[in-house]
């Protein structure tokens, strides 16, 4: 036996039991299925979308995972671009970023390392810096990662 959700021409919905889908087709073809509400024999199967209707959370999670993947790819591309095209200045980053900002040296794209406090101080002085997304953590001799990993600076205006 098979159960179908049915709908008449006046949009009344009701359920009908059939031996199989061929049985439904035969009865519907002969006009033997009638709407219990209005008696219309103009009946069709209601359109069902169980995957969407029953599990909206799954669709959302899949979409979120997709967005997260896209962001990771974009971050990786940004980091690769910086590492390829910017000068790595290491711990001298705050000093070099300031020199560029105050015009004491030629403007050039650099990236390097700064502590959270140094990064805050630079930002307060109006030096345009940004954390480098997805940057590899550089480790010092003891093997401890330095934080934050890196920042990129570019003179604005
Ligand atoms: Zn009806």
Domain borders along the chain are 2-48, 82-153
| Whole-number pLDDT of residue 149 | 44
Cα 29 to middle of ligand 1, angstroms: 17
Distances (CA, A) of 74 to 62, 128, 131, 136, 148: 19, 21, 14, 15, 20
Cα 149 to middle of ligand 1, angstroms: 67
pLDDT tens for each residue of 8-34: 999 999 999 999 989 999 999 999 999
Cα 22 to middle of ligand 1, angstroms: 23
| Whole-number pLDDT of residue 144 | 40
| Whole-number pLDDT of residue 97 | 92
Which has more pLDDT, 53 or 39? 39
Cα 33 to middle of ligand 1, angstroms: 11
Regarding pTM above 0.85, the answer is no
Dihedral sign for Cα 21, 25, 26, 32, please.
positive
| Whole-number pLDDT of residue 151 | 55
CA–CA dist 136, 149 (Å, integer)? 7
User: Contact at 8 Å (CB) between 2 and 20?
Assistant: yes
CA–CA dist 111, 133 (Å, integer)? 12
pLDDT tens for each residue of 46-94: 876 544 445 556 677 888 888 888 888 888 888 888 888 888 999 999 9
Cα 14 to middle of ligand 1, angstroms: 9
């Amino acid at each position: 036996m098979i159960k179908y959700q049915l709908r008449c021409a006046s949009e009344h919905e009701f359920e009908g039991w059939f031996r199989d889908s061929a049985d439904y087709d035969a009865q519907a073809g002969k006009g033997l299925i009638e709407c219990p509400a209005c008696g219309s024999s103009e009946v069709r199967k209601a359109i069902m979308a169980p995957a969407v209707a029953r599990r909206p959370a799954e669709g959302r999670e899949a979409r979120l995972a997709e967005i997260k993947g896209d962001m990771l790819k974009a971050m990786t591309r940004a980091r690769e671009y910086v590492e390829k095209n910017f000068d790595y200045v290491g711990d001298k980053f705050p000093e070099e970023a300031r020199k560029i900002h105050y015009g004491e040296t030629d403007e050039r794209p650099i990236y390097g390392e700064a502590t959270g406090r140094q990064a805050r101080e630079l930002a307060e002085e109006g030096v345009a810096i940004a954390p480098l997304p997805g940057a590899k953590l550089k480790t010092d001799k003891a093997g401890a990662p330095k934080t934050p990993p890196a920042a990129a600076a570019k003179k604005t205006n």
